[in-house]
Amino acid sequence: MFRWAIPVVLALLSSILWTGCQKVINVNLVEAAPQLVIEGVITDIPGSYIVKISKSGSYFNQPVLPPVSKAVVVITDNVGTIDTLSEVAPGVYLTSKIQGVPGRSYSLTVLSENTRYTASSTMYSHVEIDSLKLMKGQSQGIGLGGHGQNEERIDVHCFFRDPLEKNFYRIKGYLNDSIGAANYRLYDDQYTNGYETDLQVRRAAVNDTILVELISLDKSTYEYYRTLSDLLHTNPIFGSTPANPTTNLSNGALGYFGACAISTKTIIVTDSLFNSVK
């Protein structure tokens, strides 16, 4: 399978539907009747692709989301391809025809328990990573007496040329195939449209192998991840009442359906490379 997978509605860490493994964080923070959770993605990495369907549960109990079987799941594109997905495991539906191509639009239809759910997404341009470089940075800490204390660090930076069009990105840095919450970020090209762009990815150390994914998103998928990030940084006890992330799915379903182009590059942090950073 490909590396970029989908989180189980609010799950954004560890490998996601776009990769294989997946860490689940339940999204339905408001205690309510279970809702359908749909997670699907089309990428420009040759498929098959997966759509997962489940039911939401309680945020505070965080149960395993129960899978939804026997749904009718169809994905179409704007050049006439129609792909009826096969259920290969409970709640897991697999494509057989559709392929991700930048510039194409994709529509998802799910019929489950006599209710029809729809979503659509357009795949933006594939933006190639030009290079990965190590650069010095500063970490702000708190020293004795409450005074600020700067710590020098070495970070991996990702360089690419942003196309002269509106783009949204999700960038992820895997350390030896694992990812942490601090090692991904979202980026809107509002101020760098058409320019060389440099994004800090994650801290580096000697002997690290770091794989970076630069993922081009459409606006609806970007908004899902942006509101998801806001939600994950909201304290449900002391903060305001959280809302579910923005979704492009109809009829009250949770989750999202997205079409994304992915560029990857790897850097191996050798002792000589690390010590050559000035």
pLDDT by residue (tens digit) across 23-69?
Answer: 444 544 445 678 899 999 999 999 899 999 999 865 455 557 899 99
* Cβ neighbours, 10 Å, residue 145: 6
Burial of 121 per CB tally in 10 Å (0-12, 13-18, 19+): buried
Rounded to 5 degrees, φ, ψ at 138 are -125, 135
- pLDDT digit string, tens, across residues 188-205: 998 898 899 999 999 999
- pLDDT digit string, tens, across residues 103-162: 999 999 999 999 999 999 999 999 999 999 999 986 655 444 454 456 778 999 999 999
Q: Determine the pLDDT at residue 256.
A: 92
- pLDDT digit string, tens, across residues 87-104: 999 999 999 999 999 999
In this prediction, residue 7 has a pLDDT band, given cuts at 50, 70 and 90, of very low
pTM score of the predicted model: 0.78
Phi and psi based region of residue 177 (left: phi greater than 0; alpha: psi -120 to 50; beta: remaining): left
Instruction: Please say whether the beta carbons of 24 and 8 come within 8 A.
Output: yes
Query: What is the rounded CA–CA span in Å between residue 50 and residue 17?
Result: 7
Percent of the chain with pLDDT over 70: 75
Q: Does residue 61 or residue 250 have the better pLDDT?
A: 250
pLDDT at 13 over 50: no
Bridge partner list, 152: 138
Domains and CATH numbers, the chain: 36-125+218-261 (no CATH), 131-216+264-275 (2.60.40)
Q: Does residue 222 or residue 137 have the better pLDDT?
A: 222
In this prediction, residue 8 has a pLDDT band, given cuts at 50, 70 and 90, of very low
Q: Determine the pLDDT at residue 250.
A: 95
Q: Determine the pLDDT at residue 198.
A: 93
In this prediction, residue 14 has a pLDDT band, given cuts at 50, 70 and 90, of very low
| CA-based torsion, 227, 165, 248, 93: positive or negative | negative
CA dihedral 138, 144, 145, 151 (to 10 degrees): 0
Bridge partner list, 129: none
Instruction: Please say whether the beta carbons of 79 and 90 come within 8 A.
Output: no
Task: Show Cβ contacts of residue 91 under 8 Å, excluding neighbours closer than 6 positions.
Answer: 52, 53, 54, 66, 67, 68, 69
Sheet holding 254-268, edge to edge: 86-89, 92-94, 50-55, 36-43, 254-268, 209-217, 168-175, 184-188
Instruction: Please say whether the beta carbons of 68 and 87 come within 8 A.
Output: no
* Residue 173 to residues 14, 180, 211, 232, Cα–Cα distance (Å): 11, 9, 6, 19
Q: Strands 254-268, 36-43: parallel, antiparallel or unpaired by DSSP? A: parallel
Q: Determine the pLDDT at residue 11.
A: 39
Average pLDDT, the chain: 82
pLDDT at 187 over 60: yes
Q: Residue 118 is inside which H or E element, if any?
A: strand 115-122
Q: Determine the pLDDT at residue 25.
A: 45
pLDDT at 183 over 70: no
